Amino acid sequence: MHRLFLFFLLLTALTINACGGNQTGPSGLQVTLEPPTTGQAEPQLTIQVADSQGQPVTDARVTVEGNMTHAGMAPVISDAVTDDADGAADGRYRVPFQFTMLGDWVLTITIQQAGGSASEQNIEVIVSDQSVIVK
Ligand SMILES: [Cu+2]
């Protein structure tokens, strides 16, 4: 019974991942990365979160896990941040995050909402010295 539950949990997680990469996930949340203009040196990522109507979501906690597309690298996992941690509850979450290498990354953005629901979206980026480009 316990194993079956884990299986469905895994299946759900895979389904969520399969839908990631674009702006709107199954939760209806719109998740947008504001690409840092300074490239790899930038110590944070700004993530915009809005609901299906485009209204800012201000009551969530946002974390970012970054994985490179090649094997053998440790993931970069951020602390969770609240919207007003930067002094403004405006739907823009400033997540401390440092890319540890140039190249292709998949950012998994986890949005934990106050009501208890969590959703995940993937955003693929290319990191260089000068820029971070969303694929
Ligand atoms: Cu790497």
pLDDT digits (tens, 9 = 90+) for 32-89: 999 888 999 999 999 999 999 999 999 999 999 999 999 999 999 999 999 999 999 9
Give the per-residue pLDDT at 48.
Answer: 97
Kindly state the percentage of the chain with pLDDT values over 70.
81
CA–centroid distance, residue 107 to ligand 1 (Å) = 13
Q: How many C-beta atoms surround the C-beta of residue 126 within 10 A? A: 15
- Mean pLDDT on 105-110: 98
Whether residue 8 is predicted with pLDDT greater than 60 in this model: the reply is no
CA distance 22 to 42: 23
Supply the pTM of this predicted model: 0.79
Report the pLDDT value the prediction gives residue 17, as an integer from 0 to 100: 43
22 CA to centre of ligand 1 in angstroms: 23
Our measurement of the distance from residue 69's CA atom to the centroid of its chain's CA atoms, rounded to an integer in Å, reads: 16
| Residues surrounding ion ligand 1 at CB below 5 Å | 68, 73, 101
For the chain, give the mean pLDDT: 86
For ligand 1, the distance from its centroid to the CA atom of residue 12, given in whole angstroms, is: 28
Question: How many A from CA of 103 to the centre of ligand 1?
Answer: 7
3 state DSSP class of 70:
coil
